[in-house]
Amino acid sequence: MQKSSTAIMLSIDFPTQFRPRHCSALWLAPLNDWKKRLHETAERWMCSHVSSIFFRADDIGAGGRAFEALCHLFRDHQTPLAMAVVPAWLSQVRKEQLFRSAPVDEPLWGWHQHGWRHVNWQRTGKKSEFGEQRPFEKQWRDIWQGRQKMEEIFQARFIPVFTPPWNRLSPLTVKILQQLHFEGISLAGPLPRGARPPSGLTNLRVQVDLHTRKERDPEKDYLDLLEEMTSIMGRKEPVGIMIHHHRMSRFAFEFLHELLTILSHRTHFQLQGFQDILVTNDAG
């Protein structure tokens, strides 16, 4: 039997007025009929082909209530979660915090590399840790030392997939990832212009951003979110949904719980982890 969203919240001891420091307007408070509208939208998804869906949680580097709640939620639904870990953030204490909530040997967690320090090195333009303004040597060094640390900490549980901070990288970065024998990249779009189609690198794209949304009108944003999800269901490529647990309010957790309940109870959807998708692609 599935636990209620209220039970999930209480079990991790959230304060009654819990609210993250940064939160999109959509998630500040529950909207009228939000659950009814989500279920109505889910009925439209059933008209599409079978979808392979994955969830990716970004900016992993420490424990805390929100991280504990996230792990509890995905464990409750027995749904894989791709954990994008910032290697430089992991001290011994933080590593122990993470493993208390998500034991390294528990197969649900797809531990993979989220840059090196999550620092913006662009002097102009949009933020990026591995943008065109960084030379090849510095990018190579950061990615290499990040991978070394990931392999040391996660050992056989490390999945050789690279999620760049802010979902941006340069053609040089793609070349480095090939040299360092990564098997996948996870972006919010296609490869950067000028990058050659990478042999052996799968782009595990996220198409839905749940928590770093910019719209100031919650009602409009909720309708936009449901429409975004409807437009991508049934694609041949896996559908990726991006999570930022530090930005999740109680309502955001309740929504995610309801969404997982819908997806996990319908055979129309295949909830997969990064490793599952990579193996499928290799077999194909």
Is residue 201 in some structural domain?
Answer: yes
Q: Is residue 148 part of a domain?
A: yes
d(CA 146, CA 163): 12
261 belongs to a structural domain: yes
The radius of gyration of the chain from alpha carbons, rounded to an integer in Å, stands at 19
**Is 250 part of any domain?**
yes
Phi first, then psi, for residue 161 (nearest 5°) are: -120, 145
Tens-level pLDDT at each residue, the chain (284 residues): 344 444 544 455 565 667 788 999 999 999 999 999 999 999 888 777 767 999 999 999 999 999 999 999 999 999 999 999 999 999 999 999 999 999 999 999 999 999 999 999 999 999 999 999 999 999 999 999 999 999 999 999 999 999 999 999 999 999 999 999 999 999 999 888 877 767 778 999 999 999 999 999 999 999 999 999 999 887 888 999 999 999 999 999 999 999 999 998 877 789 999 999 998 776 54
16 in a domain, yes or no?
Answer: no
How many domains does the chain contain in total? Answer: 1
> Would you say residue 73 lies in a domain?
yes
> What pTM, to 2 d.p., does this model score?
0.92
- Given this model, what pLDDT does residue 265 score? 85
Domain that holds residue 167: 33-283
Q: Residue 157 — φ and ψ, nearest 5°? A: -85, -10
Question: What pLDDT sits at residue 17?
Answer: 63
Give the CATH number for residue 196: 3.20.20.370
pLDDT at position 213 is 97
- Going by C-alpha positions, the residue among 24, 18, 41, 20 that lies closest to residue 209 is 24
Quick check: 80 and 278 in contact, CB under 8 A?
no
Q: Would 1 be classed as within a structural domain?
A: no
| Closest to 68 in 3D by CA, of 19, 76, 28 | 76
Q: Is residue 87 part of a domain?
A: yes
